[in-house]
């Protein structure tokens, strides 16, 4: 077997952080990548998050994993070896992948948790903090849209491109609200969806203004707006390790539904 870098990057990772593996006949047996992100705003205690994506035939996966693990270690050293976590996604029920990574020492302490919010007209309206206001997030230019997408990425709300935002804005239940105090951003929320269901794609407050009910006020604005559109249910997915977000959902009476995926990982 031979392992090498592909001609171009994969899964958002640079070419040098990706690998292909082939047998002696040139048949591809697997591919994988590692992608490092600085997620200090979400996980301040372990800011470097390294996503490992790997799909390989059983007889090739040890070799592929070894290359990816070495590349992850190199990225970690190059960043100055900060507290980090190496993780990989595992679909529920995929016992082969689960057992393989558990054998390698990965834990199953994290997962992608789905919550449901049943909208009610009788909930108390929460207003933004004094000296702040809720506004529609401006998207008058591509630059403003790109800035919103970058902020979503910074706060762990996916790796979307600006084209995704353009498509999302066309859905009937699209909302994009922000809390501002003067010219300072306190927090934002973005929703999509159609019919009687909506989905929260992003909900975050900036570190400086956490604990001031900005996120609660944004949820209240979303509730009022979506109820006027006939929406009854709102879904959101949150990583299990994001305890601050989980506490917010609990206070807002979101109901836990299920674990959609596991994030098998190991701390570095």
Q: How far apart are CA 211 and CA 213, in angstroms?
A: 6
pLDDT digits (tens, 9 = 90+) for 100-111: 999 999 999 999
Whole-number percent of the chain with pLDDT over 90: 90
Q: Tokens for 201?
A: 């794609």
Sequence-distant (6+) residues with CB within 8 A of 196 are 230, 231, 232, 233
Residue of higher predicted confidence among 260 and 160: 260
Q: What's the pLDDT score for residue 157?
A: 84
246 pLDDT more than 90: yes
11 pLDDT more than 90: no
159 pLDDT more than 90: no
pLDDT band at residue 156 under the 50/70/90 scheme: confident
pLDDT band at residue 136 under the 50/70/90 scheme: very high
Q: Where are the domains of the chain?
A: 2-82, 120-231
What one-character-per-residue DSSP string does 138-179 give?
A: P-SSHHHHHHHHHHHHHTTS----HHHHHHHTTSTT-EEEEE
pLDDT digits (tens, 9 = 90+) for 192-230: 999 999 999 999 999 999 988 999 999 999 999 999 999
Indicate the length of the chain as a whole number: 268
CATH ID of 120-231, from 1.10.10.10, 1.10.3720.10, 3.60.20.10, 3.40.630.30: 3.40.630.30
pLDDT band at residue 55 under the 50/70/90 scheme: very high
| Phi, psi dihedral angles at 68 (to 5 degrees) | -70, -40
User: Assign residue 182 a region: left if phi > 0, alpha if psi is -120 to 50, beta otherwise?
Assistant: left
User: What interhelical angle do 243-251 and 214-228 show, nearest 10?
Assistant: 50
Q: How far apart are CA 259 and CA 262, in angstroms?
A: 7
pLDDT band at residue 161 under the 50/70/90 scheme: confident
Q: What's the pLDDT score for residue 3?
A: 96
248 pLDDT more than 90: yes
- Average pLDDT value over all residues in the chain: 95
């Amino acid at each position: 077997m031979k392992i090498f870098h592909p001609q171009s990057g994969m899964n958002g990772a640079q070419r040098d952080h990706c690998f292909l593996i082939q047998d002696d006949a040139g048949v591809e047996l697997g591919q994988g990548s590692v992608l490092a992100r600085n997620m200090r705003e979400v996980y301040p205690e372990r800011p470097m998050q390294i996503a490992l994506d790997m799909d390989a035939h059983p007889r090739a996966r040890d070799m592929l994993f070894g290359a990816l693990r070495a590349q992850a270690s190199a990225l970690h050293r190059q960043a100055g070896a900060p507290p980090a976590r190496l993780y990989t996604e595992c679909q529920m029920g995929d016992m082969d992948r689960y057992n393989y990574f558990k054998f390698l020492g990965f834990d199953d302490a994290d997962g992608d948790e789905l919550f449901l919010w049943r909208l009610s007209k009788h909930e108390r309206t929460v207003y933004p903090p004094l000296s702040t206001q809720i506004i529609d997030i401006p998207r008058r230019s591509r630059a403003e849209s790109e800035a919103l997408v970058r902020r979503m990425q910074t706060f762990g709300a996916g790796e979307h491109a600006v084209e995704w935002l353009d498509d999302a804005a066309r859905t009937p239940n699209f909302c994009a609200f922000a809390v501002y105090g003067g010219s300072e951003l306190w927090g934002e929320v973005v929703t999509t969806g159609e019919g009687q269901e909506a989905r929260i794609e992003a909900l975050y407050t900036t570190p400086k203004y956490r604990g001031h009910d900005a996120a609660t006020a944004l949820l209240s604005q979303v509730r009022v707006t979506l109820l006027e559109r006939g929406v009854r249910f709102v879904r959101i997915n949150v990583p299990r390790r994001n305890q601050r977000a989980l506490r917010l959902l609990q206070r807002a009476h979101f109901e836990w539904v299920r674990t959609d995926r596991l994030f098998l990982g190991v701390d570095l």
